[in-house]
Amino acid sequence: MRQLAVAALLFVGCRTEIQPIIKDEAPRGRVRERTAECQFHDYPNATEVPSGSKSLGWVKVDRLETDELTFEALRKKICEMGGDAVSQMHWIRASGASVADVPVELEGNVWSLP
C-alpha cells in the first residue's frame, strides 16, 4: 500500500514543461521574384505589412485574357510606381453585377517597404 501511495505522489508531483515555439520575425507575406530590378511581396492584409512601410495608395488594372496576365499587369504597374509590395488584393465586378459575373478589374493596396 505504501508503494502505491509513493507512486501516486510521484505521478502527481511530476511536472511536464512544454517549451514555447518562437517564430522568426521574417515577413509573413509571400515573396515572389519578378525581375532583377523589382522584387514583389504579396501580403494578404495591411496589418501584415512591416512597420515603417509607406502606403502608395490603391492601384487598379483592367482584367486581361487570363488571371496570370492580369496579375502580371498589376505587378508591373506597382513596380513602375516604385512599390515593392501589395496588400488586400481583390477582384472588382461591374456595378450591379452578381457574384456569378466575371470581374472587370483587379485592385490592390501598394506599399513601399523600408
- Domain ranges for the chain: 29-112
Give the CATH superfamily of 29-112.
Selenium-binding protein (3.30.1660.30)
Encode pLDDT of 7-45 as tens digits.
666 666 666 666 667 655 544 544 444 445 677 788 888
Sorting pLDDT into bands at 50, 70 and 90, what band is 58?
very high
Partners of 61 in the beta sheet?
106
- What is the reported pTM? 0.61
Q: Give CA–CA dist 106/97, Å, rounded.
A: 15
Sorting pLDDT into bands at 50, 70 and 90, what band is 60?
very high
DSSP label at residue 75: H
Which three-class secondary structure state does DSSP give residue 78?
A: helix
For the chain, report the end-to-end CA distance as a whole number of angstroms. 69
